[in-house]
Amino acid sequence: MAGNAESALFRRNGMKNVNRRQYLHSLFSEALAVVDELRGKPHFRLDEIGSLPDAVLRKMVPVVYQGITLGMEDGWLLLQKSPDAPYERHMPLTARQKYIISRFDGRHSIADICAVTESEFDLSSDAAAGLVKSLFVALAQNGICHPLDSPE
What does the pLDDT read at residue 102? 93
Q: Which is nearest to 93 in space by CA: 147, 54, 138? A: 138
Q: Has residue 86 been placed in a domain?
A: yes
Q: Tell me how far apart the alpha carbons of residues 132 and 138 are, in angstroms, rounded to a whole number.
A: 10
Number of domains, the chain: 1
Q: Has residue 17 been placed in a domain?
A: yes
User: For residue 22, with 0-12 CB atoms within 10 Å meaning exposed, 13-18 middle and 19 or more buried, which class applies?
Assistant: buried
Q: Which domain holds residue 87?
A: 2-147
What does the pLDDT read at residue 9? 44
Give the global pTM.
Answer: 0.69
Q: Has residue 152 been placed in a domain?
A: no
Q: Tell me the per-residue pLDDT of 89-137, one tens digit each, with 9 for 90 and over.
A: 999 999 999 999 999 999 999 999 999 999 999 999 999 999 999 999 9
CB 74, CB 90: distance < 8 Å: no
Q: Tell me the per-residue pLDDT of 33-85, one tens digit each, with 9 for 90 and over.
A: 677 667 666 555 666 677 778 888 899 999 998 889 999 999 999 999 888 89
